[in-house]
Structure 1
Amino acid sequence: MRKFEIINKFKAMNPIIPKRATEGSAGYDLSSIEDVTIMPQEIKLIPTGLKVLMPKNEALFVFPRSSLAIKRGLMMSNSVGVIDADYYNNSDNEGHIMVPLVNMRNEPVQIQKGERIAQGIFLQYQKTTDDETENITRLGGFGSSGH
């Protein structure tokens, strides 16, 4: 099963469930759940109010929308986000998908509630034959696995 879900504490804010824009689109558009101002050279986490359920052998790769840099002067500060399957329902933030944007302009940039800020693409990944993982429990995101 693969689906986006609204995080309980954000239900009243009516997050937008991601959809593909066209039949040929690979990415699901992710939108801001609130108005946000990003100051020059500032990095800000933009909340979506969403989490994602997917099979254990998949990850959601989050890429910036092409219009962000060209039209708005915004970039994702980590270039590409990787949402692992075990991020879903973690104890820290319920698996909240947040998009880190940096403002490359010399003036503030306003993100509007409902504005599409990134796109998520589901990808299956492979493991090596001698793969071993550390038995740690994911607590959240952005470095929460301890490395």
Structure 2
Amino acid sequence: MKRGFEVISQYKDKNINLPKRATHKAAGYDFESAETIVLPSIWKIIFKSVAIDAKQWIYDTFLSKETQEERQEREKALKPILVPTGIKAYMQEDEYLQLTNRSSNPLKHFLVLPNGVGVIDADYYNNESNEGHIYFQMWNFGLTDKVIEKGDRIGQGIFIPFLKADNDETVGERTGGFGSSGSASH
């Protein structure tokens, strides 16, 4: 087995479709949402944050200071939503799966991937933290909340080989799931 997709154990009985290419010459495999998710409008969050900032300025100026927990809660609201796919991918060690947006998402649905593209490394497959579950990070820049229904196509995955530099060195082994390879101290 060189490369492909599997349903993670948590979603085995939830009618998850394996990613497929839409046409014979398509490069990307279409991923679907494994659950119904509401993506809040980023504008609603920003305007709410601005209103909170104004209220906070009054509070800070005349009464008290915002706690670190309150600031963290507001920052958390601006983070992208992780849309689960229920899928994991296996591949050769010199390949990765590039996650990209569907071309229709920004134009028709006001949805973007804030990280531009996602990178699923070969060692993400079956990691202990989350079994290699693939998520798409998404922002909704539309004026209203967007409901993504279970089974809606949300993005594409493209298997891509990569080259290694002369005298290649790695920092260590994967120790977790989503975002874990970037957590080494530098």
Q: Say whether the fold is shared (TM-score over 0.5).
A: yes
Question: Greater CA deviation, 129-138 or 62-71?
Answer: 129-138
Matching residue's letter, 2:7: I
Give yes or no for contact 1:86–1:138 (8 Å, CA) kept in 2. no
TM-score, structure 1 normalization: 0.96
Q: Distance in 1 between matches of 2:8 and 2:163?
A: 29
Instruction: State the alpha-carbon separation in 2 of the partners of residues 105 and 143 from structure 1.
Output: 30
1:27 alignment counterpart? 28
User: Which residue does the alignment assign to 2:50?
Assistant: none
Q: Report the equivalent of 1:91.
A: 128
The structure carrying a bigger helix percent of its residues is 2
- Write the distance in 1 (CA, Å) between the matches of 2:114 and 2:17: 23
Alpha-carbon distance between aligned partners in 1 of 2:3 and 2:130, rounded to the nearest angstrom:
19
Whichever residue aligns with residue 103 of structure 1, its letter is N
Could you tell me how far 1:143 is from its partner in structure 2? Answer: 4.0
Identify which range, 60-69 or 10-19, moves more after superposition. 10-19
Query: Residue 13 of structure 1 corresponds to which residue in structure 2?
Result: 14
Aligned length: 147
Q: Distance in 1 between matches of 2:171 and 2:143?
A: 44
C-alpha displacement at 1:136, in angstroms? 2.7
Larger radius of gyration: 2
- Shift in Å at residue 138 of structure 1? 3.2
Q: Whole-Å Cα distance in 2 between the matches of residues 95 and 32 of structure 1?
A: 16
- In structure 1, which of residues 110, 114, 118 is the aligned counterpart of residue 155 of structure 2? 118
Unaligned runs of 5+ in 1: none
Ranges of 4+ aligned residues in structure 1 off by more than 6 Å: none
The 1:143–1:77 alpha-carbon spacing in structure 2 relative to 1, beyond 3 Å, is farther
Q: Is the 8 A contact 2:174 2:180 kept in 1?
A: no
Q: What is the SS of the residue equivalent to 1:71?
A: helix
Match for 1:28: what amino acid?
A: Y
Q: Which residue of 2 aligns with 1:74?
A: 111
Gapped regions of structure 2 (runs ≥ 5):
43-77
Is residue 73–residue 105 contact of structure 1 (8 Å, CA) maintained in 2? yes
Shift of 1:53: 0.5
Q: 2-side partners of 1:24 and 1:55: how far apart? A: 22
Residues 69-116 of structure 1: per-residue CA shift (max 9 Å, x gap) = 000001012110000000000011000000010010121001011011
Task: Verify the 8 A CA contact 1:137 1:145 in the aligned structure 2.
Answer: no
Percent same amino acid among aligned pairs? 43
The reply to whether residue 63 of structure 1 matches residue 100 of structure 2 is: yes
RMSD: 1.2
Equivalent position SS for 2:106: helix
Give the aligned residue type for 1:114.
G
